[in-house]
Amino acid sequence: MDEELITYWFDAYADDIYRFLIYYMSTPDVEDLVQEVFIKAIDRYDSFQGNGSPKTWLITIARNLAIDEARRKKRQDWRRLIKTYEFKTQDSPEKTQLANDMKLQLHQAIFKLKQNYRDVIILRGIKELSVAETGEILKWSDKKVSLTFHRALKALKKKIEEGECEIQ
């Protein structure tokens, strides 16, 4: 195991892993999971093939840990959402509140989607991973990623248009 490489990966990808887990788990309390991702990476370094990017391998580990955590804690209430954006603009309080309300509505709609749609929306739409990277993480073909992403966007749009996600 190359400790310098793992340290480099931590410096390069820890923030991406952190943001992914925030979206995926719908909680800001993911620091322990981020650390666990890198502990697993150290333990499983020999299984890293080097065929894909380390980032996708680490996000795959993060996703699997998040699924395990959700099962362990029986977290099925995806309605609990967090504010994940900080405003750096000088918008009026009204514009800021409207933007926050719209983001909350979007998050609620995302977390009402079925698991596959949620996964692909977070990875492709929010994290902006490529089709190939998303496919590697989800163990899907590129075609399935593209098709599922398209269907997920349609389902998301429908949920928002139907007003299924009300701001509380």
144 pLDDT exceeds 60?
Answer: yes
Query: In total, how many domains does the chain have?
Result: 2
**Assigned domain for 124 exists:** yes
Q: How confident is the model at residue 83 (pLDDT cuts 50, 70, 90)?
A: very low
* Domain containing residue 135: 93-161
Q: What is the CATH number of the domain that holds 30?
A: 1.10.1740.10
Same domain, 109 and 60: no
Q: How confident is the model at residue 73 (pLDDT cuts 50, 70, 90)?
A: low
**Assigned domain for 80 exists:** no
98 pLDDT exceeds 70?
Answer: yes
Other CB atoms within 10 A of residue 132 CB: 13
**Assigned domain for 98 exists:** yes
**Assigned domain for 10 exists:** yes
Radius of gyration of the chain (CA): 17
Alpha helices in the chain (DSSP H): 3-25, 31-43, 54-73, 93-111, 115-120, 131-138, 142-161
The answer for residues whose C-beta is within 8 angstroms of residue 125's C-beta and 6 or more apart is: 149, 153
**Assigned domain for 104 exists:** yes
Check residues 120 and 44 and name the one with the higher pLDDT: 120
**Assigned domain for 85 exists:** no
Q: Is the pTM of this model over 0.85?
A: no
Q: What pLDDT is recorded for position 116?
A: 94
